[in-house]
Structures are given as C-alpha cells and as structure tokens.
C-alpha cells in the first residue's frame, strides 16, 4: 500500500491522456470504491451510481461509440461557461499547451480530430468508470457526485493509479446507458473516468498546466 499523503495525491493527480494497457485488478477497484462511499453527501442521499467496465465489454462499448454519431440533443451542456471571458481564456490556454506538447499545429485539423476521437476509447485506459444518477437529483446532488468522483480519483493516486474524468462520454449517453442496462427515462449519464497507469514519457501527460492563484478566487475575512 502506498504511503502517499493527501497533499501528494492532490498535487500529482492530473487528467491522463495516454495510458498503459496493464489491467487494473478488481480487488484494487473494490477497495477504492468501498472507501469512496464515505465521501460527503448532503442529507446522506448518496446520489451516485456507477458501472466499471474493462476487457471485452469495454472494447465492445467503445466500438459502438466509434461507429455512432453524437447524441442529439446532448444529455446536458458542459460548455456554457465558455461565454465567460476568463473561463474561455483558461480553456484556450490549456488546449494550446496540450496540442503544443503533442506537436499538433492549430491548422492540422485531421490530427486534432484523431486526438478528440481518443476520448471515445478513453485514451487507452484499461478500465472506465461510467457515472450516472437518478434524474430527480438537483444541483446539490450533482455537487455530491463531484465530491465522490474526486474522492475516487485521489484514492486511485494512493494506489499508484491515474485517471481522466470524461464529460465527453456524455455525447454517447443513451448508447452507454442502453449498453449497461440503465434506464434513460429514469437516469442521467454524467461522465466517465478513465482508469489505469500513465505513460510517463508521453508529452500529453506532462505539459504545464495553470491554476489561478488563491487570491484570484478566494477571500479571507476576519483573520
């Protein structure tokens, strides 16, 4: 078992976009999920649900998604904050850094499209968590699900594993729900989480990211 601290897990977690094919043992995932159920939950509703897929079923699902168009209308909108200038600027900067690390030029539409398609195969991750929940859950419960997913991602780091949260997979939400036997009428699909071990020397896993300084979005009063 790793002796990684919480701080080390937080600072070493990043969205990995090139995974090794090494399988993730079931007992490790079961251990992580058993701990993650203690994530914060308003009113103890515990709104989160998930299916973790690997092996042949994962390959079959990914083949179906690759052959299918994006869902229309989308399951939900995850890009609305682009209308906020500072949010759009942050998106543009991280995108530029990522494509520059891969030496993909702005005008290379084919290479960019190929990379976007890698979202469907979760960047080669050997396991993918598919997260969904009851449509009656409101914004507070969406927040609870996010805290649960963050807990999972930090526990993955403790185990020496990596992840990539993928709202992109909601573009195939109905297809995914049908494949795993979840009702589209009763449940909304939120995201996937790619799970595995990072390819250490792949540039896409090491480019410099930025975060706002604390004083940019946090105030301290009364100290």
Contact 123, 194 (CB under 8 A): yes
- The number of residues making up the chain comes to 223
Does residue 190 lie in a domain region?
yes
Instruction: Reply yes or no on whether the pLDDT at 33 is more than 90.
Output: yes
Does residue 215 lie in a domain region?
no
Mean pLDDT for all residues in the chain: 95
Q: Which domain holds residue 151?
A: 6-77+121-205
> In angstroms, rounded to a whole number, what is the distance separating the alpha carbons of residues 71 and 108?
26
Tell me the pLDDT tens digit for each residue of 42-98.
999 999 999 999 999 999 999 999 999 999 999 999 899 999 999 999 999 998 899
pLDDT on residue 179: 98
Does residue 223 lie in a domain region?
no
Tell me the pLDDT tens digit for each residue of 144-169.
999 999 999 999 999 999 999 999 99
Does residue 201 lie in a domain region?
yes
Min mean pLDDT across 29-38, 84-93, 137-146 is at 84-93
Q: Record the pTM.
A: 0.95
- CATH number reported for the structural domain that contains residue 198 in this entry: 3.40.109.10
What average pLDDT does range 35-47 have in this prediction?
98
Does residue 153 lie in a domain region?
yes
What SS3 state is found at 197?
coil
Instruction: Reply yes or no on whether the pLDDT at 2 is more than 90.
Output: no
Structure-token match 């990914």, residue found? 62
Does residue 102 lie in a domain region?
no
- Look at 104 and 45; give whichever has higher pLDDT: 45
CA angle 83, 88, 93 (to 5 degrees): 175
Instruction: Reply yes or no on whether the pLDDT at 1 is more than 70.
Output: no
| Model confidence band, residue 31 (pLDDT cutoffs 50, 70, 90) | very high
Does residue 173 lie in a domain region?
yes
Give percent of the chain with pLDDT exceeding 90. 87
Measuring CA to CA, how many Å separate 192 from each of 83, 97, 151, 210? 25, 23, 15, 23
Structure-token match 């299918």, residue found? 68
Domain count, the chain: 1
What average pLDDT does range 188-195 have in this prediction?
98
| Model confidence band, residue 18 (pLDDT cutoffs 50, 70, 90) | very high
């Amino acid at each position: 078992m790793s002796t990684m601290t919480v701080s080390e897990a937080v600072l070493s977690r990043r969205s990995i976009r090139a995974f090794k094919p090494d399988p993730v043992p079931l007992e490790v995932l079961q251990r992580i999920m058993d701990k993650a159920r203690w994530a914060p939950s308003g009113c103890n509703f515990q709104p989160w649900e998930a299916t973790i897929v690997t092996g042949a079923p994962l390959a079959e699902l990914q083949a179906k998604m690759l052959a299918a168009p994006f869902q229309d209308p989308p399951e939900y909108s995850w890009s609305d904050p682009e209308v906020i200038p500072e949010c759009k600027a942050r998106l543009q900067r991280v995108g530029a850094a990522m494509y520059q690390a891969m030496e993909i030029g702005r005008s290379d539409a084919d290479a960019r499209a190929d990379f976007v398609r890698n979202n469907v195969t979760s960047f080669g991750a050997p396991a993918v968590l598919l997260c969904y929940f009851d449509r009656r859950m409101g914004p507070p419960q969406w927040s609870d699900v996010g805290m649960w997913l963050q807990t999972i991602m930090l526990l993955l780091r403790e185990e020496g594993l990596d992840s990539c949260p993928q709202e992109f997979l909601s573009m195939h939400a109905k297809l995914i729900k049908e494949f795993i036997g979840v009702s589209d009428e009763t449940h909304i699909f939120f995201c996937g989480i790619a799970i595995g071990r990072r390819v250490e020397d792949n540039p896409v896993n090491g480019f410099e990211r930025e975060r706002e300084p604390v004083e940019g979005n946090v105030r301290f009063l009364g100290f």
